[in-house]
Structure 1
Amino acid sequence: MTPESYQQIESIVLNVCLVGLFILLGLAIHDVLKKNDVPLIGRVVAYGVLGLGAAGFVAKGIIQLIYGASGIS
């Protein structure tokens, strides 16, 4: 295998692991909020923070794709 294919596989595995991590974090947060009878506003804030974190990773990936396609990096 060429070094480029290793780099591509590594990138794919990293992205898949990050998605899995955010799913597990969401499930853990859901479980804690459900067991402690957190009010609706608290749930919205908790899920909002988790969602913004995930959106940050998605934005980072999109920016990397744009920069890579334009030859900046």
Structure 2
Amino acid sequence: MLAENYELIESIVLYLGLFCLFVLMGFAVHDVLKKNNVPLIGRVVAYGVLGLGSLGFIAKGIIEIFWLSSGI
């Protein structure tokens, strides 16, 4: 296999791993919030922070795709 294929596989595995970590963090946060009877505003803030963190990684991936396609 070529080095390009290794880089593609590495990036796919990296993004799948990050996705799995964010899903597991979401489950952990949901469990903690549910067990401690956190009010609605606390849940919104906790899920919002987790969501903004995942959106940051998505934005990084999109920016990376644009930069690679333009040759930077």
State the TM bucket, normalised to the shorter chain.
over 0.9
**Match in the other structure for 2:41:** 41
Report the RMSD for the aligned CA atoms in angstroms.
Answer: 0.5
Identity %: 67
- What runs of 5+ residues in structure 2 fail to find an aligned partner? none
2:36 and 2:12 map into 1 onto residues whose CA distance is 37
**Where in structure 2 are the equivalents of 1:58-73 lying within 5 Å?**
58-72=58-72
TM-score, structure 1 length as denominator?
Answer: 0.96
- What runs of 5+ residues in structure 1 fail to find an aligned partner? none
Runs ≥4 in structure 1, deviation > 6 angstroms?
Answer: none
1:69 and 1:34 map into 2 onto residues whose CA distance is 44
Match of 2:5, as an amino acid?
S
The number of residues matched between the two structures is 72
1:65 and 1:8 map into 2 onto residues whose CA distance is 12
**Where in structure 2 are the equivalents of 1:18-57 lying within 5 Å?**
18-57=18-57
TM-score, structure 2 length as denominator?
Answer: 0.98
Match of 2:36, as an amino acid?
N
1:14 aligns with 2:23: no
Match of 2:43, as an amino acid?
R
